[in-house]
Chain A
Amino acid sequence: GAVVSQHPSWVICKSGTSVKIECRSLDFQATTMFWYRQFPKQSLMLMATSNEGSKATYEQGVEKDKFLINHASLTLSTLTVTSAHPEDSSFYICSARDPGVTNTEAFFGQGTRLTVV
């Protein structure tokens, strides 16, 4: 089946620094990828929809200048957490699906655990 890979799987950074998380579709081209955030023992909350070659679409309440998304190619989307603070510590997960097929499963990355100290 299709595989989505995230990197890194975990990262620790200091407050005020920026962190980049990569999401790659390994065996298919994804015109659209999705970024989710998950707090401990809570559900996945959609942050934004990443569109190849265009600006990302952010969900209400998500700061676009805080969470920069770049979908530069059909197999790569990046999420950059800028000027990270401890409250940004969370589990970030991306997903993608094969384009052109409706209502098919979404493939999720393994997630990135971000800890801001």
Chain B
Amino acid sequence: GENVEQHPSTLSVQEGDSAVIKCTYSDSASNYFPWYKQELGKGPQLIIDIRSNVGEKKDQRIAVTLNKTAKHFSLHITETQPEDSAVYFCAASITGNQFYFGTGTSLTVIP
């Protein structure tokens, strides 16, 4: 089955700096890669996603890049704000049904 690895597990940045989280996946058949933000005690919320026919996608301060050849994708958050502090999960999907999640990154933005 699919195996998704995520790094780093924890990340602290100063407010205004950029944060980058990286994920790799194992199954070349995966073709949908969402990123989720999870706040304490809540379910994951989709923040951005990318499909395998696209190399990069941007939404305001958030961007995701995908390298299908290397089987890795990354989340970039620019101009970080304290409210960006949360746990972020990457995921990979083959069928569009089951999602295989990375291990999560706890992001802390220091004011």
Which chain A residues have a beta carbon within 8 Å of chain B's beta carbons? 6, 32, 34, 41-46, 49, 91, 93, 95, 97, 101-111, 113
Q: Are A46 and B98 touching (Cβ within 8 A)? A: yes
Question: Contact residue range for chain B?
Answer: 20 to 34
| Stretch in B12-20, B37-45, B66-74, B75-83 touching the partner | B37-45
Task: Known contacts A49-B98, A95-B99; decide if A108 and B45 are in contact (CB<8 Å).
Answer: yes
- 30 example contacts (A-B, Cβ-Cβ < 8 A) are as follows A32-B97, A34-B97, A34-B98, A34-B99, A41-B104, A43-B104, A44-B89, A44-B99, A46-B98, A46-B99, A46-B100, A49-B97, A49-B98, A91-B41, A93-B43, A93-B44, A95-B99, A97-B97, A101-B96, A102-B95, A103-B51, A103-B96, A105-B34, A105-B46, A109-B43, A110-B42, A110-B43, A111-B41, A111-B43, A113-B41
Q: Are B89 and A43 in contact (CB under 8 A)?
A: yes
Q: Which residue of A lies closest to B95 (CB)?
A: A102
Given contacts A34-B99, A43-B89, 10 further A-B contacts (CB under 8 A): A44-B101, A45-B101, A46-B98, A102-B95, A103-B51, A103-B96, A105-B46, A108-B36, A108-B45, A111-B41
- Taken residue by residue from 84 to 96, chain B's Cβ proximity to chain A (1 for < 8 Å, 0 otherwise) reads as 0000010001011
Contact at B34–A108, with CB atoms within 8 Å?
no
Cα(A106)–Cα(B34), bound, Å: 9
| CB of B6 to closest CB in A, whole Å | 8
- B51 CB → nearest A CB, Å: 6
Q: Which residues of B contact A43 (CB under 8 A)?
A: 89, 101-104
